[in-house]
Chains A and B, each alone.
Chain A
Amino acid sequence: MSLDTVAIAQANPDASQPFAELGLKPDEYARIKEILGRRPTSSELAMYSVMWSEHCSYKSSKVHLKQFGDKAVKTDALLVGIGENAGVVDVGQGYAVTFKIESHNHPSFIEPYQGAATGVGGIVRDILTMGARPIAVMDPLRFGPADAADTRRVLPGIVAGVGGYGNCLGLPNIGGEVVFDETYLGNPLVNALCVGVMKHSDIKLAKAAGAGNLVVLYGAKTGGDGIGGVSVLASETFESKGPAKRPAVQVGDPFVEKVLIECSLEIFAEDLVVGIQDLGGAGLSCATSELASGGSGGMKVQLDKVPLRDPSLSPEEILMSESQERMCAIVEPSKIVRFLEICEKWDVTVTVIGEVTDGNHLEITWNGELIVDVPPRTVAHDGPVYNRPLAQPAYIDAVAKEVINVPIPTTADEIKATVLKLIATPNLADKSWVTDQYDRYVQGNSIQSQPDDSGMVRIDEKTHLGVAVATDANANWSYLNPYEGAKLALAEAARNIATAGAKPLAVTNCLNFGSPEDPGVMWQFAESVRGLADGCLEMGLPVTGGNVSFYNQTGAVAILPTPVIGVLGVIDDVRTRTPMSFDRAGLDLYLLGETESHLAGSEWAYMHNQRGGVAPIADLQREMRLLDLLVAGRTKKIFSAAHDLSQGGLAATLTEMVLRYNMGATIQLDNVGLTLLSETPGRVVVAIDSSQTAALTSEASSQKIALTKIGTTGGDSLVINDAKISLVELRKAHTETFPKLFG
């Protein structure tokens, strides 16, 4: 293919171009010609095609995501909001914490290990780019049925990839989720979250400011990885025949990224960069256009200077390459020598590839010939904005009429059998098979990790200031009522932060949905975003950023709407946190919150193939009062333990508590069957020393949270009314499932 330059494009305007194969629609192609006043060169076409893809431009979601900004609560704690690589919040003592969650779903279906590994690599770079040292990762994962052949194909690879990359980076994995559902067969969800910490003064932004400043590419060399990954993979659904899109997968090297992290942090510490961007989806196309857009306005790049792993790559391929572990920095000329010295110390490849200019041109040359001349904003920010049609799907009204009809245990035998069956189901079973493959100790600051309600990391070793992070989603509820489902997931994640006594501060989100071209899916998306935005406004929690993953479907069947909500909180002293469970006998157990009949969307209903019914309606005012109660329980030293209720209801929560430190409990419940299985939101089990009874009663009363004593700790069994299950038997049922399934 001979070089297609700007001059040639001007000279032959009618040349036919493969815009459709690159994923562009005819009207988008026409718009590009309008913007440029001519046809695009093939390099420009490549850039627009990747940057205007759904994954990069958010064209279908922008109009809805706007609500996060419009409905945002004003808060001084938010230092960097939506729009940058990751959001940043003030956590006190001069520290700023940045966190974000992202998806890498389609690549993980194609190549599970590398898809998951590069997903982790990508989110870690986003955090690094903000100027922070990454300090932890989390991985919410969703698969098809646990016993499906394809789950056995993807799960081990994905878990090994998350562990393989994260462990090698020296990042503790402090939590995540493993969920199984038919809906994800063929469309596993790999969402990765990263947290980083820095001082306020360290915050870096992605802007190329200052004409004359240098554009510097450093990190791994560029190869043919993931060419067209974003447009080809993430913006189209899979054909039902199976994975054929192999060439577009990226391959990661965590060692190179670890070195990149250390090198970058040294560079940041010496204040050597004016702006910085990592190269993720759409690689150089993204980095150059975003940096230029964010800064003085223009940039000149000599593409032939990019160091290559594969010398046969064409300029178009270099611009689209998604080779991992690369960063692009803007450096003042007076600082470049020191910048290069640090890269040399760490043996990191570094090349000056261009300079910042004034004006509105991103100009890229190849061996002296101009192959790209575009207004950068049109590539990076002014992509197409779709207001896709949405329509409430017919199923919504239909499922609401379904009546849940599941067996409710009443006798001792039935209670015992139900509990044992429930806690052995893959969604609720012990996940050590997965989490033992993750390093949770590295960096020496992990306070809580799996199976606790939230991950918690100490960020100051003297003051013991810490942060807590939790992720949650409930696709069952989102399916029944996407608006409420999003609110409920938000409330659950915030509650998971608060059980340890941390205060929720900010929100990130990973919105996993089917095709936006389906009006029903688009309606689910719009409702979910509306619910999350309304919920965040009501709870006073800003959305700091997040990720949208569309096209999670095979053929015409979309996944259940799965908005994953991440909440970050702060705790002034990690030593005072409320643990998830108890290790001594003689404590009193209380249930906070009223239990009603909420079996629709529950795990028990799912186990009986019933997916219909009416989702709970979120009561965020009550949830907020509960959060205050939970924090007070720590600061006033009332609680000995606190663990929230979610999937699997009280049965799962009690099981998890008694097995945590191998201490039994004796429980007495009215309406025992329903109370064990219902998944009414806004409930927590707490353990207190009896001396704290008055304090607890008083706090619960002032927060208007229902309080019910349910039992006491002690013994070597879980006793529920007349049913007695030894801890040995309980543990066996809980821990056998995963090894049996995955070896």
Chain B
Amino acid sequence: MKIGVVTFPGTLDDRDAARAVNHAGGEAVALWHNDADLYGVDAVILPGGFSYGDYLRCGAISRFSPVMEPIIKAAQGGMPLLGICNGFQVLAEAHLIPGALTRNHELHFLCRDQKLTIENTDTAWTSSFTQGQEILIPLKNGEGAYMCDDETLAMLEGEGRIIARYVGENPNGSRNLIAGITNERGNIVGLMPHPEHAIDSLTGPSADGLGFFTSVLKAMVK
């Protein structure tokens, strides 16, 4: 099971995402932003970081990278695609999922161990969890407030496309405490917190993050 992990200039958590993939039993394949070849991977992860220094808007420049063309095509055809943090921002800029990520409401970069509930276990990336399961994974960003118009919000809620929600105080001002969403088909997921930093309790607050990576490996077996 090969999972591509994209590196844009300024990407930071690519090696961590690759480690998580390998830890979960998959094979991580490094994909370069400038190379429009997916090398036959079965799924793709857009990792966290500050691609292009967050110039213009987070993810605004990355989304036009050569590698994004085959990724968008494959994802529209059903390939599992996960965008973590900056990756979530790229997915939003590319309009693969609705809404946009904006500046944290308290203006500070915030790194904290964040409780989430998993609210949709039907996606390619969340099937390893149980409905309503509470997990603890790191949240670390400055532009993590999920925004969309009322119509979009109603649709996301109505269709159960919110895959994860923050528990407790809203850490960044996201509407309806949204921490992650999926597309209609359930193969594309955008997630603000970082599951790749919660794969063991030695280096993270828990091993709860592994579930995202084992889910997609299961999905690919099917």
Contacts and interface: CB of A to CB of B under 8 A. Distances in A.
A and B touch in the complex (CB under 8 A): yes
A258 B197 CA distance: 20
Given A168-B50, A439-B140, A441-B140, A447 B111 contact: no
Given A437-B111, A574-B202, A575-B202, A444 B10 contact: no
A438 B52 contact: no
B51 to A, nearest CB: 9
Interface stretch (B13-21, B65-73, B149-157, B178-186): B13-21
Contact of A255 (B10, B19, B110, B199): B10
Most buried by B among A253, A438, A443, A444: A444
Interface stretch (A159-167, A302-310, A359-367): A159-167
Most buried by B among A163, A168, A435, A445: A168
Nearest to A464: B202
B9 A346 contact: yes
Contacts of A258: 9-10, 12, 50, 53
B20 to A, nearest CB: 8
Contacts of B34: 345
Interface residues of A, number: 32
Interface string A429-455: 000000111111111111100000000
A254 interface: yes
A441 B204 contact: yes
Interface in A559-581: 574-575
A255 B50 contact: yes
B111 A259 contact: no
Contacts of B138: 441
Interface string B171-193: 00000000000000000000000
A20 B117 CA distance: 66
B111 A170 contact: no
Most buried by A among B34, B53, B54, B138: B53
Given A168-B10, A258-B10, A259-B10, A440 B50 contact: no
A256 B15 CA distance: 19
A253 B53 contact: yes
Contact of B109 (A163, A253, A345): A163
A661 to B, nearest CB: 12
A446 B110 CA distance: 17
A341 interface: no
A444 B53 contact: no
Contact of B110 (A254, A436, A441, A575): A436
Contacts of A538: none
Given A441-B197, A442-B12, A447 B110 contact: no
Given A347-B9, A443-B16, A575-B202, A254 B109 contact: no
Nearest to B196: A444
A100 interface: no
Contacts of A441: 16, 111, 138, 140, 194, 197, 203-204
B55 interface: yes
Interface string B1-33: 000000001101101100100000000000000
Contacts of B15: 443-444
B49 interface: yes
Contacts of B204: 441, 444
B50 A439 contact: no
Contact of B203 (A253, A345, A435, A447): A447
A347 B33 CA distance: 12
B55 A439 contact: no
A435 B110 CA distance: 9
B95 interface: no
A445 B203 contact: yes
A436 B111 contact: yes
Most buried by A among B13, B109, B110: B109
Contacts of A160: 108-109
A458 interface: yes
A436 B197 contact: no
Given A442-B12, A444-B197, A167 B109 contact: yes
Contacts of B218: none
Q: What 5 pairs between A and B have smallest CB-CB spacing?
A: A255-B53, A170-B12, A441-B197, A444-B16, A168-B50
Interface of A: 160, 163-164, 167-168, 170, 253-256, 258-259, 345-347, 435-447, 458, 461, 574-575
